[in-house]
Structure 1
């Protein structure tokens, strides 16, 4: 068994997910490869901060601390990185639970010093009890989960997915951390892309770096009922287009859209064909899945065009500001 110490960071922001947060922490505590520590980083919510500190008395096992940077997921993750002590820092969404060998699957590849990041697979848990028949698996990223088209097994990738991810601590020495201005920042628009930006910057800083995806490192990610509807699907795909425009501006179009080209030209057309075939075979939702794929492409493309024009007009830049440990301690 690997002896690598892993710190787990869970960023939280709302009391509405109280039971989900408790379940996430419990799943970390049940790991076959024990976590060195679990850090709950609270995003500018004093009530939630106090409640979690009452639930988890300050110990080396679970630590509760406020986001020491601006509101948003990137600064919350950077706060966790600065406060953590493990050789590897893993990230788990606050509405997900990890399978018992999750950290073991993450830790094992780090025996190779070239490995700087390992990601895993996120399986959707639908609040309605099952996948809506119109919802294409190719778009499971809309609800924060792994999607059809990702390579199986343990493979090298351009970037890992942020809700089920781990990085060697030294990776942040090379790139500083997650960029603010990309991804979710407390507003209502479901942006993303901050982990893509970080991984691309990491590969540029260390061309010999290995970034892996291992589909045996599994988490089960809750999908709220509100996200099972087409309205959210449309909103999220549009926001993803906006996010990709920001990532492309940060790291360049070639790298920023490298994986997306294969996805758009191979995975999605195959999904449309599959949906139409299912319709011919009288399988539920076939035509609706095909239509959802087309709608998702169009709204994401629209978001990308709008985001690109806005970024050019505004001359948008993105800050990568590591949060010093002493700043975290003062905030705590």
Structure 2
């Protein structure tokens, strides 16, 4: 069990956000958890929601098929609705359970190993004053349990579920969000049919892209909808030592390629890979040139990581395009996706480009 995770550092940037609760839509925050091993992280996540201004109207903790965790959380978190995932095992099923139970206008998702800054709710909710905005996602800062590996490219922070270099640094429309820190109008989530349960993480299996696929469906259903990246809505995401290794880096990149192949098969491959093309054409080459600058410590290792990460991701994608998985029983099958929202390529679904 994880007992060595201190509370992440916090920065109070509340000034100037306007915290009159009547100025914002009501907010349900859904946190999904599946293991007692991240108990200290979960306590930090729930604790960060109690400090929000405007207050979070409702916190829903969905426990994914772990009765021991559900019993402990029910006793430890008064005022939090603790529910069992009533769908298929995995993150998507747990999120769908939370959406179905939510009572507020906006549903936000916070990872069980992430902690929100005190002004997170205000920054996340303010853009909803524009009725065209169907969703708002925020910045995910890595909080390394040890230290950042010197070779780890910031352009690949999506590997550990965090915002990466190349995302917009100011509010801007994006194709999809990072799963650790995102929100949607509940009506948009329900209208799109929720998260596909044949995509996404189950336990420690490093697959994903369910957020990307959902955002594509929201945009397909309502082409004028805006999915807005708001960097001021920030959370800190715990990165354990096990994810700071070369083995995890390569495995995660390969799994990302597999996931992207599945998303491309479900709908328009052009839409599903629009951000990735821009990432490979622009973000990665600039990073490679930067890494090879004379005198940069660890530059050659970073350049090698860039090449290795791209290679592993492409390999996973090619394998995924050839290998067609059989549909699983009980999988939700919403309408296929089409074109993404117009605007800069951005947000990583579940921390991916």
Task: State whether TM-score is above 0.5.
Answer: yes
Moved more, 63-72 or 48-57: 48-57
Structural RMSD (CA)? 1.4
Whole-angstrom distance in 2 between the partners of 1:203 and 1:43: 28
Cα distance in 1, alignment partners of residues 328 and 275 from structure 2: 23
User: 2-side partners of 1:221 and 1:40: how far apart?
Assistant: 17
Residue number among 150, 155, 158 corresponding to 2:175 in the alignment = 158
SS where residue 71 of structure 2 aligns?
helix
Aligned position for 2:37: 16
Deviation per CA, 1:288-330: give whole Å up to 9, x if none: 111100000000000001111112x747896247xxxxxxxxx
The number of aligned residues is 312
| Counterpart among 54, 59, 64 of residue 75 in structure 2 | 54
The structure that is helix-richer by fraction is: 1
Contact persistence 2:24–2:129 (CA under 8 A): no
1:78 to 76, 96, 102: 96
TM-score normalised by structure 1 residue count: 0.91
Question: Equivalent of 1:207, from 218, 223, 226?
Answer: 223
The 1:290–1:107 alpha-carbon spacing in structure 2 relative to 1, beyond 3 Å, is: same
Aligned to 1:111: 129
Q: Secondary structure at the match of 2:165?
A: coil
Q: Who is 1:100 aligned against?
A: 118
Listed as ranges, the gaps of 5+ residues in structure 2 are 1-19, 335-353
Secondary structure of residue in 1 paired with 2:52: coil
Q: Which residue of 1 aligns with 2:321?
A: 308
- List aligned pairs for 1:1-332, cutoff 5 A: 1=20, 2-57=23-78, 59=79, 62-128=80-146, 130-186=147-203, 188-277=204-293, 280-281=294-295, 283-311=296-324, 314=326, 319-320=332-333
- In the aligned structure 1, how far is the partner of 2:118 from the partner of 2:193? 31
1:170-218: per-residue Cα shift (whole Å, max 9, x none)?
Answer: 10232110011111123x4301100000000110000110110000000
Q: 5+ unaligned residues in a row in structure 1: which ranges?
A: 322-332
- Report what 1:327 is aligned to: none
